[in-house]
Each structure stands twice: as structure tokens, then as C-alpha cells.
Chain A
Amino acid sequence: MITMEHVCKSYRIAKRNAGFLEACKALFHRQYETIHALNDVSFTIRDGEMVGYIGPNGAGKSSTIKILSGILTPDSGTVLVDGRIPYKNRRKHVQEIGVVFGQRSQLWWDVPVMDSFELLKDIYSIPKPLYRQNLEELTELLNLKELLRSPARQLSLGQRMRCEIAASLLHSPRILFLDEPTIGLDAVSKLAVREFILKRNKVHGTTVILTTHDMQDIEALSNRIILIGKGRILMDGTLEDIKRGNDNIDETIAELYRAYDI
């Protein structure tokens, strides 16, 4: 179970106008602006739920994921994931979760994907039989067979993303955080990834929290949607609640963003 209560997180950002003169001015007097990435965010997610976490760019989605995965420390509020405070007992916490950051890579660039996997096996102390079983399952479902022996640098984005997702699941995490996992994937890979996540949830009961801008992802995957904008939770409901009879989900969401002025 995941609970966030009254969580706030702000960043201080140096700002200045463009241009040489402004740059010189900033040497002596720097203007900072405090951005409230998360402003009193609360929600509860039960075990085995699949939650779509949506919102416009810069709404605070990634910050939430990073707090939940123990990377960032919130300014205030309480966060509990299965009874653990992520940023306090980080090492114990991350053993139980899997994270995919769609825009980053966790595979080692110059070595075959298989080497990265073997290393992860040792890092997470995965027992050998479990590792073998997971690897087999992941290889089959994500169609990785041909990819495992090539160095990560020579894979295409979609191929690499499939490997990234596999890498995050080798240690059978109970909770999976996916930060834009389908970014840049072709149709076939997208479908494969979606199907895979669904299956994972059904068979292993993995809790999945997913941020994305691809509304079809949300449609296919999540029964619950949390909408965040300007650091606040604006809506928490099912897909049906959001759609309200309108068939085109992208338009509905855009309308929603406009309605909330975010």
C-alpha cells in the first residue's frame, strides 16, 4: 500500500531574461523563483492497483515518482510505501520496487545487455532459480532473445526500452513505477509493453504506477486515474469519470487541462 499525505516539494530556480546585459546583471543580483512542484499532495494506492498518473508538462509527475522511489526527500508531509519511508530506508525500499525512467538508461552502454542483467542479479542479490525464471519469462514476453547479446549502444530506442523494462523487473518487485515507459516506441513495441504490464499485474499482482502523455496507454492499462496540475491533485477517479461520454480521450484530457487552467 502506498500513502502520501500532504506532501510538498519545492525547487529554487535561478531565473533571468535572455541577453548579455541581463546575464551581467545576474552576476551581481540573482533572482530566484520557488517552484512548488508538489503542493499538498495526498493519495492512497492499494496493492495490485494500476494507476495512471497524468498531468501536463511540469505538473509534478516525475517528482512524485522520485519521492516514492526514495530518490528525493520531500520538504514536508508523510510518505509510506508498504510501511517504509522511502527516503529514510532507501536501500531496503528500493529492493522491493522497480523503476523505469523512460528518458534515461540504466543499461551499461558498452557491454552486452546480458552483462547488465547479470550485474543487476548481483546488485539485488536475486537467487539464481528466481533470476533464471524471471529472465526466461521476460525474454519471451518482451521478445528480447535477439537483443541480449548486443551492446546497449547499438540497440534502437524501442529495443532498448524493452530491455530497460526487463531490467527493472528482474528482482520481482512488488511495485513498479513507470515514468513514460512508452516514449518513442513503435506501435508493435507499445502493444507488447502494454500487454506485458497487464499480464504482470494479473499474474504477479504487481502494483503499477504509470505516468505518460499517451492516453492510449492509460486507456489500455489503468482503471484509476490521478490528475495532477501545478503540484495539486485535481482529480482522482476512473477512466469513465473522465470520459463522461466523450470518445476521444485526447480531446477530453485537453479540455480537462483547459478547464482546470493548468
Chain B
Amino acid sequence: MKKYLSFFRLRFTMGLQYRAAALAGIVTQFTWGFMEVMMFRAFYRSDASAFPMSFSATASYVWLQQAFLAFFMVWMMENEIFDSIINGNIAYELCRPINLYNMWFSRSMATRLSRAVLRCFPVLGVAFFVPSPYGLEPPADFFHFALFLVTLVLGFAVTVSFCMLIYFFTFFTVSPQGLRILFTSLVEFFAGAVIPLPFFPENIQRIMEALPFAAMQNVSLRIFSGSMNEVQMQKAVALQVFWLLVLTAAGKLLCRFAEKKVTIQGG
């Protein structure tokens, strides 16, 4: 365990040293969040009752999503991992007494966490002071807040274990580009990154909520903004745990298979 922790620590401190990237990220997240809130306002103006979530809940959803972008965006993958698979540097990782899956898992976690830590506070802070209903509304009570934190971590883990699948699929293709584009656009849509899931028609929504993608950002963001009732919350958390287990198991299996089949490219 200690090896993975110290690896986590190294990646985390490494991530914290990229200041310019963090600053650029904060600016992007502000602009994007602001644009999205304005766009939703235009829709709500025409008929607010036609929407499943209140406008302030939607605004909170958007701001939280921007603040914790690094936790949930599948496109933020570790390029170094892809590079090492393509150019063969993975040879070195394979001659360490470590489990490749656990190592990459802790690495992805660390990178995402370091990015999120640098970016979330400014976004959360400012969004909190943006006047209602455009800003970030605090959750209804402490219970919702606590559950938000739990589901945030669960969703984060689901996202990372999904990315792990893509890393290991890369062992079997020449270039990771196709897989990345396919999966990232798919996930964006189904995870509620484009529009929140309640905005979809009900029958489609029911299917979408059972998929692993809904176990990523959807749950925690909606619990925070209070747009889930108790039964929904129970079901959502159970699904998160379920998908986390399934995705991790699948990833580990794939990892073992890939290790057996690996050829080191480039001599």
C-alpha cells in the first residue's frame, strides 16, 4: 500500500507545480460556467415550469460541475500513460514490483485531485457570492452536504476506473485516438456533462440513469442541488457502488490479459 501512496504523493505534488495551467483552467471554468448559466436563463425565461429542475438548482449544478471538472471529465486522461504504451516506455513500469492497475489508478487519482484542488476553490468561492439565483446555493441541510461528499468521492472513483479501461484497451490498438474520441464524446453525453440527466425525456432518462456514466458526476451534483428525493438517492448510491466494483473488476481482468499479451514497441 505504501508504494501506491508515495506514488500518489509524488504525482500530486508534481501536479501542483503547474501554476500557469491552473490559472488558465480557472479562467476557462469561469467563462464556461457563466456562459452555461446564461444559456439556461434564456431557456428558463421562455417557460420555467417546463423544466424538471429549478433554475437555481441548475445554476448550482453548473458551478459545481465547473469546480470539480477535473474529477469527472473523462477526456482528462494521462497522456504519459498513452505515450508509454505507444513508445514502449512501459517496459520500465513492468519491471517494478507493483501492480500496474493500482499504480495507474493512484496516478490518475493524484493528477485529477491536484488539478481539482488548484481550481475548485476560486470557482466555488466566487460562485458562492454570485447573487441568487445565478450563483451556487448551499445544500438544504447537513445530510445532503455529507452525502454530496460521499457521492463525490464515489463518482470520482467511477470516472477513474472507467478511464482505466481505456488505458488497457490501448494495449490492443495501434493508436489510442479513436478510442479516446469515441469514449469521451459518449461519456460526456450520457454522464450529464452536456445537460443534466433530468432534462432528458423520462423513458430515456430511466435507461441513462442505470448506466455507469450516470454514476459519475450526475449523482453528487444533483444531491447537492437538492434535485433528488430519498428513494432516488438510495438507488443512485447503490448503483455507484455497483458500477465501481464492476468497472474495477473488468479493468483488473483486462490488465492481466494485456500484461500477458504485451509487446514492447520500439526496440
Residues of chain A at the chain B interface (Cβ within 8 Å)? 11, 62, 66, 69-73, 87, 90-92, 94-95, 97, 99, 101, 103-106, 108, 110-111, 115, 118-119, 122-125
Contact = CB atoms under 8 A, between A and B. Distances in A.
B10 A108 contact: yes
Given A69-B95, A122-B3, 19 more contacts: A70-B94, A71-B94, A72-B262, A87-B260, A95-B97, A103-B267, A104-B91, A105-B92, A108-B10, A110-B14, A111-B14, A118-B6, A118-B10, A119-B10, A122-B5, A123-B6, A123-B7, A123-B97, A125-B2
Contacts of A125: 2-3, 97
A227 B14 CA distance: 44
A122 B6 contact: yes
A163 B110 CA distance: 25
Given A110-B14, A118-B6, A125-B3, A71 B96 contact: no
Contact of B3 (A70, A106, A111, A123): A123
Contacts of A95: 97
B38 interface: no
19 contacts: A62-B267, A66-B91, A71-B91, A71-B95, A71-B264, A72-B264, A90-B259, A91-B99, A92-B97, A94-B94, A99-B92, A110-B17, A111-B10, A119-B7, A119-B10, A122-B6, A123-B3, A123-B97, A125-B3
Contacts, number: 71
Interface residues of B, number: 26
A106 B92 contact: yes
B97 A99 contact: no
A101 B7 contact: no
B262 to A, nearest CB: 7
A83 to B, nearest CB: 17
Nearest to B263: A11
A8 B4 CA distance: 35
B145 to A, nearest CB: 35
B88 interface: yes
A56 to B, nearest CB: 13
Interface of B: 2-3, 5-7, 10, 13-14, 17, 88-89, 91-92, 94-99, 259-260, 262-264, 266-267
Nearest to B9: A119
A142 B130 CA distance: 59
Contacts of B95: 69-71, 94, 97, 99
B97 A66 contact: no
Nearest to A92: B97
A104 B92 CA distance: 8
A124 B14 CA distance: 21
B147 to A, nearest CB: 35
A181 to B, nearest CB: 14
B92 A73 contact: no
B264 A66 contact: yes
Contacts of B6: 118-119, 122-123
B262 A71 contact: yes
A38 to B, nearest CB: 13
A119 B98 CA distance: 12
A92 to B, nearest CB: 7
A123 B96 contact: yes
B117 to A, nearest CB: 18
A87 B259 CA distance: 9
Contacts of B92: 99, 101, 104-106
Contact of B98 (A73, A103, A123): A123
A90 B7 contact: no
Contacts of A123: 3, 6-7, 96-98
B97 A124 contact: yes
Contacts of A71: 91, 94-95, 262, 264
Question: Which 3 pairs show the lowest CB-CB distances between chains A and B?
Answer: A122-B6, A95-B97, A106-B92
Contacts of B259: 90
B94 A90 contact: yes
A228 to B, nearest CB: 15
Contacts of A99: 92, 95
Contacts of A11: 263
Given A71-B262, A91-B98, A91-B99, A122 B7 contact: yes
Contacts of B7: 119, 122-123
A258 to B, nearest CB: 23
Contacts of B88: 104
Contacts of B260: 73, 87
A13 to B, nearest CB: 10
A180 B158 CA distance: 42
